Amino acid sequence: MTQSTIASPAGRQEPADIIDFMRSIPPVPPILSHHLAEALPRVGGKPQSGLLLRDAVPGGSAEDRRVGALWLRPRFRSDIPPERIIVTNGTQSAILLLLEGLVGQNGLLLAERLSYGVIADLARRAHVRIAGLAIDDEGIVPEAFEDACRRDGPKALYCNPTDHNPTTSVASEGRRLALAAIARRHGVPIIEDDPLGRLDRDAPPAIAALAPDIAWHVGGLTKCLAHGLRVAYLVAPSAADLDRVVGPARRLSHWFAAPLMTALVADWIMSGAAEAICAAIREETGARRRIALGILEKADLRCGPSGMHGWLRLPEDIRADAFAARLAERGVLVRPAGLFAVGEGQAPQAVRLSLSAPPDRQAVELGLERVAALLASPA
């Protein structure tokens, strides 16, 4: 067995014989605790630090926005005006704001036909209709997007073009430009969810960098730094767009990021700790990706550049739901493709393996060996 460099999350208790490949959470590098211990006295020792527990500024302070622009710069390959950025209480809060502000009640949202597992739930919360689009090895098929724009009059497109959840596809720069051109032609704004972009150093620029006039970018920190950080940066086409879309919700505090949390994030980004933590997660998930590709070398497994999850396509005679149930009997938890399906149509026979979720590499190996054994003898 390979020795892990990642510690188990403190306080989390799971049966030793259960390997959880379901939850999309990052591993916890040992340096995270070190940087947390160093940052907390700095944050708490500043003059007027007690005010961090008094009021939350809608969208974050000017410093929060400036720091967010620094963190997102590698995804945009250029400076982002801070006035185009707000800080939210995590990715889901940002998406919900956009569904309410861009799509509106009974409006139509388009998304990949396999997509982020809770996007349909968020659409229901916002009283938004949702429909799935055909996808290929680069994500959304442009012709499918064009046809839906002409036929259905959508209000927005939600997409996850970098290390797509769940299929691990990465849209090329050409594909991103093609989707942006269609969106611009039909006046359909793009909601770009980019939780893994900072982990993939070779990913093409964000759609919002290539087409800032039509795309809204959501850069959450729960995958690239720590699952418990409920902080996401939302980048709008312009400050005026931010005011138009988010302004009506400024009196509702449910989406505000906690100031103590954003102060910690700012400290980490400015000190270099955030980059170090991200690099440690990247190294660990890369090691887990290599383990998966080795153990399941005879299977139809795709692993994305970030290494956070793998997409296992099953033989034609094996149903994903049944395969997941059989794995659960063997103490391995996975998510079948049907849990990611958007709209009508049959989901493929595939399962997602969240390689980052187990506490260490030994657990990853053990779980994947059980997966391989079931594939070899499914009866």
Alpha carbon of 186 to those of 146, 182, 201, 211, 218: distances in Å?
9, 6, 32, 14, 22
CA–CA separation, 370 and 363 (whole Å):
11
Nearest alpha carbon to residue 329 among 371, 300, 288: 371
Q: In what order do the strands lie in the sheet with 350-353?
A: 300-303, 310-313, 350-353, 335-336
pLDDT bucket at 8, cuts 50 / 70 / 90: very low
**How confident is residue 53, by pLDDT bands cut at 50, 70 and 90?**
confident
The CATH number of domain 19-34+274-376, selected from 3.40.640.10, 3.40.50.970, 3.60.15.10, 3.90.1150.10 = 3.90.1150.10
- Dihedral class, residue 351 (left if φ above 0, else alpha if ψ from -120 to 50, else beta): beta
Tell me, what's the pLDDT at 16? 58
Q: Is the predicted pLDDT of residue 11 greater than 60, yes or no?
A: no
| Residue ranges matching CATH 3.40.640.10 in the chain | 47-273
Architecture category of domain 47-273 in CATH: 3-Layer(aba) Sandwich (3.40)
Helical H segments across the chain, by residue range: 30-44, 62-76, 91-98, 119-125, 142-152, 173-186, 207-210, 239-246, 259-271, 273-295, 320-329, 361-376
Residue 244 confidence class, pLDDT cut points 50, 70, 90:
very high
Share of the chain above pLDDT 90, in %: 89
Mean pLDDT of 230-238: 97
Across residues 311-329, what is the average pLDDT?
96
Residue whose structure tokens are 């939302």: 234
From-to residues of CATH 3.90.1150.10 in the chain: 19-34+274-376
Mean pLDDT over residues 175-192, rounded? Answer: 98
Crossing angle of the two packed helices 361-376 and 273-295, in degrees rounded to 10: 30
Q: What CA–CA distance (Å, rounded) separates 151 from 264?
A: 47
